């Protein structure tokens, strides 16, 4: 397979990547045929999946605008993926030009492309890092040099936690981040689930089977497990809800039922 200029040396082009699959769902061009094939299989198992991802992105944009409206203008976006139109720095900087953003991802394609997109942009930086190593992220030069932990920070874990297995204890990892965040900081997250939408647990198992071939396996969780991620945070209204129902910009009665699969929420550290 010919390696495009934007693909870093050393990555395995024969194995699908969750960030490149996500890029395909959003209509991006930074993906390979192996990613597109995995995405097509996932869509076959869970029709409407690209709409779910688009609803996820729309929630993220609303949550960023909410954060800025609350005076939170620093963003730590972990599992940020490959930047597409309307990403965190674009939304935040449009709302407040003094905003500062750190993107973190463990996929070398996502990191390399993010660096290219952010070239010349001094309000946003990107680093290679893994959610499962919180201290390495928190102590990195990118985070300590770009974010001021004397002021609130919005921690974004959007479409990330369903790629962290139970035995990796994502609840404990979030607690490590929470303890490092100053008072008034926000936790913004979404999580895949078959609950809330028209699909069944069998559809959930089918899509999990597709993702077993990718760089990170998918875990569908139920509401109580998602609620536990907000331990130590006060959940802001309207609570932990389906993505379209979190502070929508307008009527949602025309939404495809499939976009109600999964959960979204924002919590504030007291």
- Do β-strands 263-269 and 233-235 pair in parallel, antiparallel, or remain unpaired? antiparallel
In a domain, 36, yes or no: no
Q: What percent of the chain has pLDDT over 70?
A: 86
- Across the range 222-229, mean pLDDT stands at 96
- CA-wise closest residue to 157 among 199, 190, 181, 197: 190
Distance between CA atoms of 120 and 229, rounded to whole angstroms?
A: 35
* pLDDT band at residue 45 using 50, 70 and 90 as cut-offs: confident
pLDDT in tens, 97-106: 999 999 999 9
Assess whether pLDDT exceeds 80 at residue 79. Answer: yes
Specify the pLDDT at position 4. Answer: 62
Least confident of 50-54, 204-208, 242-246, 253-257: 204-208
pLDDT in tens, 136-194: 999 999 999 999 999 999 999 999 999 999 999 999 999 999 999 999 999 999 998 87
Specify the pLDDT at position 203. Answer: 54
In a domain, 25, yes or no: no
Q: Check which CATH number belongs to the domain holding 256 and give it.
A: 3.40.50.150
* Total of domains in the chain: 1
In a domain, 249, yes or no: yes
Assess whether pLDDT exceeds 60 at residue 210. Answer: no
Specify the pLDDT at position 23. Answer: 86
pLDDT in tens, 229-248: 999 999 999 999 999 999 99
In a domain, 18, yes or no: no
In a domain, 26, yes or no: no
The residue among 200 and 226 whose pLDDT is bigger is 226
Specify the pLDDT at position 269. Answer: 98
Distance between CA atoms of 179 and 138, rounded to whole angstroms?
A: 11
- Across the range 77-86, mean pLDDT stands at 85
Domain range for residue 174? Answer: 52-199+219-269
Specify the pLDDT at position 193. Answer: 86
**Adjacent-strand bridge partners of 186:** 154, 268
In a domain, 81, yes or no: yes
Q: What percent of the chain has pLDDT over 90?
A: 57
In a domain, 91, yes or no: yes
pLDDT in tens, 55-69: 999 999 999 999 999
pTM reported for the whole predicted model: 0.87
In a domain, 211, yes or no: no
Supply φ then ψ for residue 139, to 5 degrees. -95, 5
Residue with tokens 């979190």: 246
Average pLDDT, the chain: 88
């Amino acid at each position: 397979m010919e390696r495009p200029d934007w693909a870093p040396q050393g990555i395995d082009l024969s194995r699908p990547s969750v960030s490149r699959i996500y890029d395909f769902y959003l209509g991006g061009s930074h993906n390979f045929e192996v990613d597109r094939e995995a995405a097509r299989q996932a869509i076959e198992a869970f029709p409407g999946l690209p709409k779910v991802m688009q609803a996820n992105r729309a929630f993220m944009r609303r949550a960023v605008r909410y954060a800025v409206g609350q005076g939170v203008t620093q963003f730590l976006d972990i599992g940020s993926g490959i930047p597409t139109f309307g990403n965190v720095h674009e939304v935040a900087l449009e709302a407040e030009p003094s905003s500062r953003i750190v993107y973190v991802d463990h996929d070398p394609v996502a990191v390399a492309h993010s660096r290219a997109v952010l070239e010349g942009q001094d309000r946003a930086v990107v680093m290679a890092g893994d959610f499962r190593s919180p201290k390495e992220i928190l102590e990195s030069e990118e985070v300590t040099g770009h974010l001021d932990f004397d002021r609130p920070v919005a921690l974004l874990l959007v479409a990330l936690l369903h790629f962290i297995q139970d035995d990796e204890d994502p609840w404990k990892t979030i607690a490590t981040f929470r303890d490092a965040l100053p008072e008034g900081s926000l936790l913004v997250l979404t999580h895949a689930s078959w609950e809330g939408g028209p699909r069944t647990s069998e559809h959930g198992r089918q899509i999990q089977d597709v993702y077993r071939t990718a760089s990170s396996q998918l875990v569908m969780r139920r509401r109580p497990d998602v609620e536990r991620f907000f331990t130590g945070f006060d959940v802001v209204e309207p609570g932990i809800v389906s993505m379209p129902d979190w502070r929508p910009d307008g009527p949602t009665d025309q939404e495809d039922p499939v976009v109600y699969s999964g959960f979204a929420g924002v919590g504030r550290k007291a």
